[in-house]
Chain A
Amino acid sequence: MREKKVIPTNMQAARQLAEELLDEAPFKGYSEPALFAIRLALEEGLANAIKHGNKSDPGKSITVCAEVDDDQATITITDEGEGFEPGVIPDPTVDENLEKPCGRGIMLMRSYMDKVEFNERGNEVRLIKRRA
């Protein structure tokens, strides 16, 4: 299954897309922990694209490409923002950052997915979860 969707920059549209993708994609054989991870990473990637990428600009859109087969799920999320440098994001798990209400999205994507890649500009993230 390969699918591409373009959504406006808002949380409701992102939520709907996530629900549709999780309903429609052929996740047969994927474990519950794997599905939890995919759902989490998808939500984190979409939230980042809305808030930090497109800065909640309703005039911008987000493109999501999903490819799911028996071996792995690959989800690519692209925003229209200026991009960022993933290496400069503070570690949210160190003591001095534990009480910060935000800043955990990228760490969670990296913790739960098998592979997380950003393009050079930093406005696109590619998330991969293997079935087994």
Chain B
Amino acid sequence: MTVAGRQPFRLDVAREGNAAVVRVSGSVTITEADQLREALENLAAEHAPVMVLDLANMDFICSLGLGAIISGHLKCRHHRGQVRLVHPQPPVRELLETTRLTKLFGIYDSVAQALPET
């Protein structure tokens, strides 16, 4: 029985021009949040102007996971970079709205829309 998602966590990183695209899949629970934070902070240290987080396949995130995304955002801001979120599933989108993080992050319908114009 699948309860509220619970797919295995996975991170895939790709480069699109000078942007980093991070596809987050599965659930970001209390045991995966540190892994997400570390990955985003390391990518931010590469000074990509835009870090795109593709959330289309992410079924769950806890507040520690949200904190990991915020940590990546803060690191990006050191070099005037941005974190952009793509296509969160409805429960995750509701979570972003409940926490008002939609004010902090741009939310896009597709990775292509989130990439910076060249």
Contacts and interface: CB of A to CB of B under 8 A. Distances in A.
B3 A92 contact: no
A104 B68 CA distance: 13
A98 B5 CA distance: 27
Interface residues on chain B, size class = 20 to 34
Contacts of B71: 101
Nearest to A27: B3
How many A residues are at the interface, by size bracket?
20 to 34
B16 to A, nearest CB: 26
Interface stretch (B18-26, B49-57, B94-102, B106-114): B94-102
Interface in A8-33: 11-12, 14-15, 18-19, 22-23, 27, 32-33
Given A15-B29, A47-B62, 20 more contacts: A11-B30, A11-B31, A19-B6, A22-B3, A22-B4, A27-B3, A32-B91, A35-B3, A36-B4, A39-B4, A40-B62, A43-B30, A47-B63, A93-B98, A99-B104, A101-B67, A102-B67, A104-B99, A105-B63, A107-B99
Interface of A: 11-12, 14-15, 18-19, 22-23, 27, 32-33, 35-36, 38-40, 43-44, 46-47, 92-93, 95, 98-102, 104-105, 107-108, 111-112
